């Protein structure tokens, strides 16, 4: 069986298929051809070129008509993808209408084609990412509400701390997703703009018709016409990359938490199970967090790619040498990695498996020590903070040394029982009674999500 060359083994794991289609060779070429077809329509609207040239040009603007391998070889000599593509486009048109070929690419430069084509791709990518984020947020909101009152051990420095709830933890993931959705909404008007400046950004080749053509071209592509061309002002591109970096990092946090909760010693929360998922080549018992691994992997890889975008910002004068080139594969790869992370995150959130009984048992691993603060806070109001803290510290040490439950040690301590009754101690050492505002945080996170969704 003959296979086309390329790195396809890991694509299904790390990248969502629909995102890869946006940034595959055909997707890139079609976006540039869409620019050329729109340019012809815009210039005909303004009267710069004859209307009869539009159909022959637009008919040739179909990626299926072009040899990507030949284009790739030509790019190695030309230095960018637009130059050989425009030449191939001209030949395609000339084969049927030599007159129309004269009007191809009129007044534009290679970077106009490539950057505006990229923006068209990013619009598709943004739509996919926003859709995945919205679905992920819906799932997280439902899970947060479902487990709003499910206690589990809080963990600081990877050690048991005071109790939290699973819903509160999930609400934290939800809040990060909501903020990312807000950022994308805010940056969209800055990102989805036309790039059209001609050779050096002045559009001098189009004379007095330059601005009307630019406006018509923006309308044809359903993009905004910015205040000026942005050939070497890359903040729009970098802002989007940075926002994707934040998404990758937030999803990495989600994946890290789930992988830790799945550890054998914890075994509190699990990825959804499926035949063949998370197994080992040698150990039949294994259930590995393979979805979380994608989230953590993307969170590890994306920051370096984002740093490349930042490094490429100080571009020279009106056209960059090398720095612009550094973006070409970088931003698409960021989009693909984030798409794969979102795809896995949504699967995790949809099918999260929770063992509340194990959470309750794990809360007892320290035999009441995680609730020492609860006792200390109440006792401090009666005997003073320093006295209460010192007394509880000594009782905790005794509980550890004697391998006894803190409740038993406190019940044997006259300085404690003089201030706190048995019923008070029982209440204070119940994890369900020391959850603070955990449920409120869930309600607030869900409300913010709902407000954004409306």
Query: In angstroms, what is the C-alpha Rg of the chain?
Result: 30
148-161 per-position pLDDT tens digit: 999 999 999 999 99
Q: Is 110-141+162-193+230-362 a CATH 1.10.10.10 domain?
A: no
224 backbone dihedrals φ, ψ, rounded to 5°: -85, 145
Give the predicted TM-score (pTM) of the model: 0.93
201-233 per-position pLDDT tens digit: 999 999 999 999 999 999 999 999 999 999 999
Extents of the domains making up the chain: 16-101, 110-141+162-193+230-362, 369-428
Neighbours of 50 (CB within 10 A): 13
The whole-angstrom separation of Cα 73 and Cα 71 is 5
Coil, helix or strand for 36?
helix
Q: Is 181 a catalytic residue?
A: no
Beta strand spans in 66-186 (E): 151-156, 159-165
Q: Is 319 a catalytic residue?
A: yes
The whole-angstrom separation of Cα 196 and Cα 112 is 5
Q: Is 16-101 a CATH 3.30.110.70 domain?
A: no
For 369-428, CATH number?
A: 1.10.40.30
Q: Helix (H) and strand (E) counts for the chain?
A: 21, 4
Active-site option among 102, 146, 301, 319: 319
pLDDT, tens digit only, all 454 positions of the chain: 344 445 677 888 888 899 999 999 999 999 999 999 999 999 999 999 999 999 999 999 999 999 999 999 999 999 999 999 999 999 999 999 999 999 999 999 999 999 999 999 999 999 999 999 999 999 999 999 999 999 999 999 999 999 999 999 999 999 999 999 999 999 999 999 999 999 999 999 999 999 999 999 999 999 999 999 999 999 999 999 999 999 999 999 999 999 999 999 999 999 997 666 555 455 556 578 899 999 999 999 999 999 999 999 999 999 999 999 999 999 999 999 999 999 999 999 999 999 999 999 999 999 999 999 999 999 999 999 999 999 999 999 999 999 999 999 999 999 999 999 999 999 999 999 999 999 999 999 999 999 997 6
Q: In this structure, are residues 124 and 26 in contact, taking their beta carbons and an 8 Å threshold?
A: no
Q: Can you spell out the DSSP letters for 322-346?
A: SHHHHHTTHHHHHHHHHHHHHHHHH
Active-site option among 52, 200, 280, 311: 280
């Amino acid at each position: 069986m003959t296979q086309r060359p390329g790195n396809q083994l890991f694509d299904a794991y790390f990248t969502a298929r629909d995102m890869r289609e946006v940034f595959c060779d055909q997707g890139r070429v079609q976006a540039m051809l869409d620019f050329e077809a729109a340019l012809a329509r815009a210039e005909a609207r303004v009267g710069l070129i004859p209307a009869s040239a539009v159909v022959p040009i637009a008919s040739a603007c179909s990626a299926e008509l072009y040899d990507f391998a030949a284009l790739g070889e030509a790019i190695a000599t030309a230095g960018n993808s637009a130059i050989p593509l425009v030449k191939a486009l001209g030949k395609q048109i000339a084969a049927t209408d030599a007159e129309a070929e004269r009007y191809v690419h009129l007044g534009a430069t290679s970077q106009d084609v490539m950057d505006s084509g990229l923006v068209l791709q990013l619009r598709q990518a943004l739509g996919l990412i926003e859709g995945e984020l919205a679905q992920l947020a819906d799932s997280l909101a439902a899970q947060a509400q479902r487990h709003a009152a499910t206690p589990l051990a809080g963990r600081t420095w990877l050690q048991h701390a005071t109790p939290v709830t699973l819903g509160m933890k999930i609400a934290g993931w939800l809040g990060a997703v909501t903020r990312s959705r807000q950022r994308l909404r805010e940056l969209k008007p800055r990102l989805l703009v036309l790039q059209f400046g001609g050779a050096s950004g002045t559009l001098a080749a189009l004379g007095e018709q330059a601005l009307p053509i630019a406006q018509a071209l923006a309308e044809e592509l359903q993009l905004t016409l910015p205040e000026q061309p942005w050939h070497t002002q890359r903040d729009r591109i970098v802002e989007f990359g940075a926002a994707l970096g934040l998404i990758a990092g937030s999803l990495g946090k989600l994946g890290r938490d789930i992988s830790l909760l799945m550890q054998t010693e914890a075994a509190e929360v699990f990825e959804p199970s499926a035949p063949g998922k998370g197994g080992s080549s040698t150990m039949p018992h294994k259930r590995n967090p393979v979805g979380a691994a994608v989230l953590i992997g993307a969170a590890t890889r994306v920051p370096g790619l984002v740093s490349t975008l930042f490094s490429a910002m100080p571009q020279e004068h009106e056209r960059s040498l090398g720095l612009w080139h550094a973006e070409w594969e970088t931003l698409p790869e960021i989009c693909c990695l984030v798409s794969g992370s979102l795809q896995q995150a949504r699967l995790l959130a949809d099918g999260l498996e929770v063992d509340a009984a194990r959470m309750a048992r794990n809360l007892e691993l320290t035999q009441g020590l995680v609730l020492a603060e609860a006792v200390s806070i109440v006792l401090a109001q009666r005997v003073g903070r320093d006295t209460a803290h010192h007394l509880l510290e000594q009782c905790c040490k005794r509980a550890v040394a004697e391998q006894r439950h803190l409740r038993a040690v406190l019940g044997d301590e006259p300085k404690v029982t003089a201030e706190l009754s048995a019923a008070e101690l029982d209440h204070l050492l119940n994890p369900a009674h020391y959850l603070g505002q955990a449920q409120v945080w869930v309600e607030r996170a869900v409300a913010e999500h709902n407000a954004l969704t409306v």
